[in-house]
């Protein structure tokens, strides 16, 4: 694996606009959905970086841009120091070995006509590795064992497996080529609660055992806190806050992060009590985002400056970067969070599982 | 429970569907009561029968292939024996329901206002103009901005959160005494979910209606419910007041649910404690306690004996269906609370020599993950 502490992925001014067209025969471009709009961040080797946000904030698009399933409109994605947005052909194919993806829906992401043995062996077939029937089968069965599947089920079909087991098949396939980067896009949101924990524990174990670098995308803030070393919060195509997990959950600086955390239902009727801060209205359309700070239309702290000028993503102490003119104070953050949360996150007692 | 008059009393409800693969025992002897103005939360995973019991209440599972028994008393009348037309009088009037997916529950061809007006006219003999005014008032009540204009919008012009608000408005059209919400916020983003939950709580206080909230999310019920029923494989395995069920749960499945979800305040270094295996088939249910194949505290006799939902001694209003002795259950939960794993606590169960393996393979042909 690459050296720890160094960035494996550097994203610089990444932009993805999807054109909106009108007309049937001659399609005219009449606008653009600004799915990802000028974001920059690093993914440190060996860490798990979480990306959270609500529907349509651009978190999945960001993931797909990084693994080149989508072409960026502009900007750079550097992987081990090299810009990969322009790579083509054999170069791109070689790159694909180093970055793999796990998808949300374990039902539609596995070919129903193939045995799981051949699904997991597919990466070897594509890249011409592990030639020879015996060697390939042995390797696939090792992978199945790694993700907690019975290797004897090599010749079974996806429909014979439950949702949680299918997600394990997807993980085994992603690990086949020993990638440096694993991108997991909502890997547990389609699973029942009791099954979720099985998959989350497995992912955490694999991440630790194999020293993987993981980008973990989810809308569930509790899951992200459990899985990630650092967390980026996105809102309408922008990163509004990026911080180590303990800081983000203990002392959110961006009012949007504060509102998100305040909104999470807490399974504790006593310790979960708080003044729930409700955002008004809905998320504005990314085709026509608000001026200035994109959150100003729903922000309880918004002032004139917020609609005039876009706040830069800058350091707000404690390793937190946030894009806000008027970040939350300690008191404001505390009043938004359930008491048990501030108590659990305030002193940085959590084991630092990676780079900060 | 019986000291105050119940609005709804479900007594030993059983719902079975005859299918080509066999009889599906969707609900198997569920009993609960809902008092006026209170909220019951029904929690369970997919296929636990939590929605079917509510749908049956409104007659929405009636079919030749459905076998229903038991009683559902609403203000003293048994909904199960009411003829279709009388039930239709109650449905949408005294009892209303909101569903998970607001897009597929609103008709895409009709304006939101028309659909609201229909709900009013169905049960009230008022003029169309009066019904339209009522529709506008309802949209305002559920917090839709600019209701005079929005009343003439189509569902596709609404966002997900607004559609759910419109659904709630429709359910409230005739000021129901009981509102059933089936996964009302599952399809919504977390900030919108918070808005909808706050709205439901606020409306409940203002209108004094009772609610049943069906969900898989323990966080949601912790925030809104007064009482919680946990369902597993068609049965209620535990029922208690909300604070009690989170403070001193007594069923191993409830422990499993509480310990398998990551929380905002658990130390990150702690691993989650998943429930092994997966939910059973409702056609071929496990013998004895239905949870025994997944229970880390199973004893030999649990494979044969069917537990009854019984009072927990010393905890008024707390019912549980578990064969473990009550003192043992208290000790196990204490252990789990202090971070011990089910494996570490297993010895408490094994004080009697039982040669059986800890976790038997779950039913079905494949081994559990």
For B43, the closest chain A residue by CA position comes to A193
Whether B361 has its CB under 8 Å from any CB of chain A: the answer is no
Q: Does residue B128 share a domain with residue B22?
A: no
Query: Whose CA is closest to B71, among B6, B9, B149?
Result: B9
Residue at B307 is within a domain: yes
Residue contact B197–A197, C-beta within 8 A: no
Residue A107 in any domain: the answer is: no
Please identify, among B188, B215, B247, the residue that sits at the C-terminal boundary of a domain. B247
Q: Which whole number is the average pLDDT over B183-187?
A: 86
Q: Token digits for B158?
A: 């609404």
Give backbone dihedrals phi and psi of A240, rounded to 5 degrees, phi first: -100, -25
pLDDT of residue A351: 39
- Whether A245 is covered by a domain: the verdict is yes
Q: What average pLDDT is seen over chain A?
A: 88
Mean pLDDT of A241-267: 92
Q: What's the confidence (pLDDT) of residue A232?
A: 97
User: Cα separations (Å) of A27 from A20, A22, A35, B70?
Assistant: 9, 6, 20, 62
B71 shares its domain with B117? no
Residue with tokens 């961006």: A254
DSSP B15-71: EEEEETTEEEEEEEEEEEEE-TT-EEEEE--TTSSHHHHHHHHTTTT-STTEEEEEE
> Could you tell me the residue range of the domain that residue A276 belongs to?
229-350
- Give residue-wise pLDDT tens across range A150-160: 999 999 999 98
The residue from B213, B247, B281 where one domain ends is: B247
Give the list of residues 6+ apart from residue B365 with CB closer than 8 angstroms, or none: none
B13 plus B90 within the same structural domain: yes
CB of B195 within 8 Å of a chain A CB? The answer is: yes
- Same domain for B76 and B12, yes or no, is yes
Give the pLDDT score at A354: 40
- B59: number of CA atoms within 13 Å, CB side? 18
Interface of A with B in 29-88 (CB under 8 A): 54-55
Compute CA distances B125 → B10, B122, B134, whole Å: 31, 8, 13
Whether residue A204 lies within 8 A of chain B, CB to CB, comes out as: yes
- Ramachandran region, residue B269 (left: φ > 0; alpha: ψ -120 to 50; beta: rest): alpha
Strand residue runs (E) in chain A: 7-22, 28-44, 48-52, 74-79, 82-83, 99-102, 181-185, 213-217, 230-235, 238-244, 314-315, 321-322
Q: Is residue B358 part of a domain?
A: no
Q: Across the interface, do A279 and B195 touch by the CB < 8 Å criterion?
A: yes
* Nearest CA distance, B76 vs chain A (angstrom): 32
Q: What is the pLDDT, as a whole number, of residue B363?
A: 43
Q: Give per-residue pLDDT as tens, A44-67.
A: 999 999 999 988 899 999 999 999
Question: Do both B266 and B117 map to the same domain?
Answer: no
**Looking at this predicted complex, what is its ipTM?**
0.83
Q: Which helix (H) or strand (E) holds A286?
A: none
Residue B340, pLDDT above cutoff 50: yes
Residue B139 vs residues B90, B127, B163, B169, B211: alpha-carbon distances, Å: 22, 19, 11, 6, 20
Question: DSSP secondary-structure letter at B123?
Answer: H
**pLDDT for the residue numbered B23:** 94
Residues of A in contact with B257 (CB under 8 A): 193-194
- Number of domains composing chain B: 3
Residue B268 CA to residue A344 CA, distance in Å, equals 10
What is this structure's pTM?
0.86
Residue B334 belongs to a domain? yes
Residue A244 lies in a domain: yes
Look at A194 and B260 and tell me if their CB atoms are within 8 Å: yes
Q: A7: which strand partners?
A: A44
Residues of chain B contacting A340 with CB distance shorter than 8 Å: 264-265
Answer whether residue B354 is part of any domain: no
Q: Considering chain A, what percentage of its residues have pLDDT values greater than 70?
A: 94
Range with the poorest average pLDDT among A204-218, B133-147, B151-165, B339-353:
B339-353
Strands A99-102 and A82-83: unpaired
Q: Would you call B360 an interface residue with chain A, using a CB distance cutoff of 8 Å? A: no
Same domain, B243 and B108: no
Residue B280, pLDDT > 50, answer yes
What is the extent of the structural domain holding B145? 102-173
Q: Do A168 and B369 touch (CB under 8 A)?
A: yes
* A304 found inside a domain: yes
Identify whether B363 is part of a domain. Answer: no
Residues B3 and B124 in one domain: no
Q: Are residues B9 and B48 in the same domain?
A: yes
Subunit contact A148:B220, Cβ cutoff 8 A: no
Residue A272 CB neighbours (<10 A): 22
Please give the mean pLDDT across all residues of chain B.
89
Residue B136 has pLDDT above 80, yes or no: yes
Average pLDDT in the A123-133 region? Answer: 89
- Both B113 and B127 in one domain: the answer is yes
Among candidate residues A60, A98, A82, the one with its CA nearest the CA of residue A12:
A82
DSSP lists the bridge partners of residue A230 as A49, A244
**Three-class SS of residue B10?**
strand
> Is A294's pLDDT higher than 90?
yes
Q: How many domains are there within chain A?
A: 1
Instruction: Note the pLDDT of residue A343.
Output: 65
Q: What confidence score (pLDDT) does residue B279 get?
A: 86
Neighbours of B20 (CB within 10 A): 5
Summarize pLDDT for B7-56 with one digit per residue, the tens: 999 999 999 999 998 999 999 999 999 999 999 999 998 889 899 999 99
Q: How confident is the model at residue A286 (pLDDT cuts 50, 70, 90)?
A: confident
H-state helical runs in B159-260: 160-172, 190-207, 218-224, 242-247, 252-260
Residues B271 and B236 in one domain: no
Domain final residue, candidates B227, B247, B267: B247
Residue A124 lies in a domain: no
Q: Same structural domain for residues B49 and B194? A: yes
Q: Is the pLDDT of residue A4 over 70?
A: no
Of A39, A106, A57, which Cα lies nearest the Cα of B189? Answer: A57
List A82's β-bridge partners, or say none. A79
B42: tokens are 């029904």
Give the torsion sign (CA, B233, B237, B242, B247). negative
In a domain, A295, yes or no: yes
Full strand arrangement of the beta sheet holding A99-102? A99-102, A181-185, A213-217, A48-52, A230-235, A238-244, A321-322, A314-315
Enumerate residues 6+ apart whose C-beta is below 8 A from B89: B123
B366 pLDDT above the threshold of 60? no
Question: Given the DSSP bridges, would you call strands B66-74 and B77-78 parallel, antiparallel or unpaired?
Answer: antiparallel
pLDDT beyond 70 at A38:
yes
* Cα atoms in the Cβ-side hemisphere of radius 13 Å centred on B65: 10
pLDDT score of A352: 42
The torsion angle over the Cα atoms of residues A213, A218, A223 and A227, rounded to 10 degrees, is: 10
| pLDDT for residue A139 | 93
More confident position, B192 or A102: A102
Read off the CATH number of the domain in which A278 is found.
3.40.50.300
Determine, yes or no, domain membership for A281: yes
User: What's the pLDDT tens digit per position in A275-284?
Assistant: 777 888 778 8
CATH number at residue B227: 3.40.50.300
For residue A345, the distance in angstroms to the closest alpha carbon of chain B comes to 7
Count contacts between A and B (CB, < 8 Å). 164
Does residue A344 sit within a domain?
yes
Same domain, B260 and B242: no
Residue B113 lies in a domain: yes
B242/A contact by beta carbon, under 8 A: yes
């Amino acid at each position: 694996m690459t050296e720890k502490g160094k960035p494996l992925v550097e994203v610089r001014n990444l932009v993805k606009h999807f054109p909106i067209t009108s007309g049937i025969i001659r399609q005219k471009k009449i606008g653009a959905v600004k799915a990802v709009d000028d974001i920059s961040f690093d993914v440190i080797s060996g860490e798990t970086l979480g990306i959270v946000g609500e529907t349509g904030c651009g978190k999945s698009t960001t993931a797909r841009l990084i693994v080149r399933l989508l072409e960026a409109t502009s900007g750079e994605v550097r992987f081990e120091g090299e810009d990969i947005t322009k790579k083509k052909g054999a170069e791109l194919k070689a790159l694909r070995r180093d970055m793999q993806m796990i998808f949300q829906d374990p039902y539609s992401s596995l070919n129903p006509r193939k045995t799981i043995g051949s699904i997991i062996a597919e990466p070897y077939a594509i890249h011409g590795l592990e030639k020879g029937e015996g060697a390939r089968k042995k390797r696939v069965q090792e992978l199945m064992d790694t993700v907690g599947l019975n290797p004897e089920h090599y010749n079974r079909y996806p429909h014979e497996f439950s949702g949680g087991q299918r997600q394990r098949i997807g993980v085994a396939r992603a690990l086949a080529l020993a990638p440096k980067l694993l991108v997991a896009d909502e890997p547990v949101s389609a699973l029942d609660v009791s099954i979720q924990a099985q998959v989350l524990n497995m992912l955490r174990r694999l991440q630790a055992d194999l020293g993987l670098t993981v980008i973990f995308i989810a809308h569930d803030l509790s899951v992200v806190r459990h899985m990630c070393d650092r967390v980026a919060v996105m809102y309408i195509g922008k990163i509004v806050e990026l911080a180590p997990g303990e800081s983000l959950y203990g002392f959110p600086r961006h009012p949007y992060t504060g509102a998100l955390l305040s909104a999470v239902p807490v399974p504790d009727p006593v310790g979960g009590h708080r003044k729930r801060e409700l955002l008004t209205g809905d998320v504005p359309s990314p085709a026509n985002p608000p001026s200035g700070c994109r959150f100003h239309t729903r922000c309880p702290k918004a002032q004139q400056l917020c609609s005039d000028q876009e706040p830069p993503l800058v350091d707000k102490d404690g390793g937190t970067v946030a894009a806000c003119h008027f970040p939350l104070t300690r008191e404001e953050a505390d009043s938004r969070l359930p008491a048990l949360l501030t108590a659990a996150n305030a002193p940085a007692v959590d084991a630092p599982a990676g780079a900060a | 429970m019986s000291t105050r008059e119940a609005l709804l009393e479900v007594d030993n409800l059983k719902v079975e569907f005859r299918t080509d693969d066999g009889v599906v025992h969707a609900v198997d002897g569920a009993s609960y009561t809902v008092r006026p103005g209170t909220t019951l939360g029904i929690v369970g995973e997919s296929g636990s029968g939590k929605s079917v019991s509510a749908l049956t209440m409104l007659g929405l599972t009636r079919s030749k292939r459905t076998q229903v028994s038991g009683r559902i008393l609403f203000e003293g009348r048994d909904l199960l024996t009411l003829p279709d037309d009388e039930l239709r009088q109650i449905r949408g009037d005294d009892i209303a329901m909101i569903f998970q997916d607001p897009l597929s529950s609103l008709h895409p061809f009709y304006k939101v206002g028309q659909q609201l007006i229909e709900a009013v006219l169905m049960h009230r003999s008022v003029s169309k103009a009066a019904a339209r005014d009522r529709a506008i008032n309802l949209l305002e009540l559920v917090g839709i901005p600019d209701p005079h204009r929005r009343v003439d919008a189509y569902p596709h012009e609404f966002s997900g959160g607004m559609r759910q608000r419109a659904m709630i408005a429709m359910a409230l059209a005739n000021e129901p005494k009981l509102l059933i919400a089936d996964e009302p916020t599952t399809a919504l983003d977390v900030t919108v979910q918070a808005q909808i939950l706050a709205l439901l709580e606020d409306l409940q206080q203002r209108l004094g209606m009772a609610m049943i909230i069906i969900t898989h999310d323990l966080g949601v019920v912790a925030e809104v419910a007064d009482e919680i029923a946990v369902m597993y494989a068609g049965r209620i395995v535990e029922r208690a007041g909300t604070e009690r069920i989170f403070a001193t749960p007594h069923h191993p499945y409830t422990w499993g649910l509480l310990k398998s979800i990551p929380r905002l305040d658990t130390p990150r270094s702690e691993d989650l404690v998943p429930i092994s295996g997966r939910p059973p088939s409702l056609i071929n249910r496990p013998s004895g306690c239905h949870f025994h194949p997944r229970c880390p505290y199973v004893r030999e006799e649990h494979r044969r004996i069917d537990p009854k939902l019984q009072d927990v001694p010393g905890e008024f209003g707390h019912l549980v269906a578990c064969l473990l002795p009550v003192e043992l259950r208290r000790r196990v939960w204490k252990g789990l609370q202090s971070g011990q794993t089910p494996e570490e606590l297993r010895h408490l169960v094994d004080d009697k020599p039982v040669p059986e393996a800890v976790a038997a393979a779950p039913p079905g042909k494949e081994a559990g993950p």
